[in-house]
Amino acid sequence: MVNVTWTRFARAIGAPLVAMLCVLAVGATPAYAYWTNTCDDWQSLFYGKYQTINNKWGHTVNNWGTGWQCVGRDTDNTTNGWQADLSWSNSSSEQWDEYHIKAFPSTVVGWQWGYANPDRGGLPVHLWENKNVWTNWSFQNQVGDQKSDAIYDLWLDWSDNPSSQPTDEVMIFLDYTAGAHPESNKVATVDLAGATWDVYRSTDSWQVISFVRTATTTSASMNLRDFLGYAVDAGWLDPNKYLISVQAGFEVWRGAGKYITTDYNVSVS
């Protein structure tokens, strides 16, 4: 497998500076009275502090893969549910396309590539403040012929609102298929948040610290501070840096179907 960090570098530098709101009623979804969706590249649906993004970074920035993707949510729900409908396959004209991430439909709290929702959900915070970052996430994977993962993506930087690539990325893998997680630079195995995690670290272009759950799950309730604190104690993260963003979603190499988030929450205290 090629270095997964390299493909994420393209996602980072290609991300748009401004996210725009685009909500379109979908009459074909009768289960929700206030269902909205978007199929446009990089468009967002807002719900308080949550920004759900139709992120197709690999496809739109690098022309990787063929297919389509939409994100939708019920704007009147109390569990912050959302879903991604998609179909991605490898391009026959793109060499090694099996190793390229096509998209990352996700929900963000806080900073997002030069744009911040006016309600930033208690972020940014200095790591030295030792704030709780409680989260729960329950989802259903209804995607076939897939290569994908379900991750938290945490961004950190010296600035509370960087205009370019942050200095650090902490990734927390809950669910993944073969080849859809780091496979090199393993540095430790730790017990955190009631589970066991393999830890990977890369400093090629910016620092990426990855926690990969050894037993995959589609439901988690935990304090993200545990992972950040471990990295601080290991000497990898400077406590004077800011946690600027909490992002959760599905990186997709290929597959067709739905990812359905039934319950999601992030709370900083």
pLDDT band at 79 (very low <50, low <70, confident <90, very high): confident
**Per-residue buried b or exposed e for 72-94, using 16+ beta carbons within 10 Å of the residue's own CB:** bbbbebeebbbbbbbbbebbeee
pLDDT band at 85 (very low <50, low <70, confident <90, very high): very high
| 206: nearest Cα among 231, 236, 250 | 236
- Provide the 8-state DSSP code for 44: E
The residues that bridge with 268 in the sheet, in sequence order, are 133
Could you tell me what percent of the chain has a pLDDT over 70? 87
pLDDT of residue 35: 82
15-24, 81-90, 108-117, 201-210: lowest mean pLDDT where? 15-24
Mean pLDDT over 86-95 rounds to 96
Domains of the chain, CATH where assigned: 4-268 (2.60.120.180)
pLDDT digits (tens, 9 = 90+) for 201-252: 998 889 999 999 999 999 999 999 999 999 999 999 999 999 999 999 999 9
What are the structure tokens assigned to 138, written together?
A: 């329950």
pLDDT digits (tens, 9 = 90+) for 34-71: 789 999 999 999 999 999 999 999 999 999 999 999 99
Q: Which residue has the tokens 């601080």?
A: 232
- Amino acid identity of 38? T
- How does the average pLDDT of the chain come out, rounded? 88
| 5: nearest Cα among 113, 145, 153 | 153
Q: Does the reported pTM lie above 0.85?
A: yes
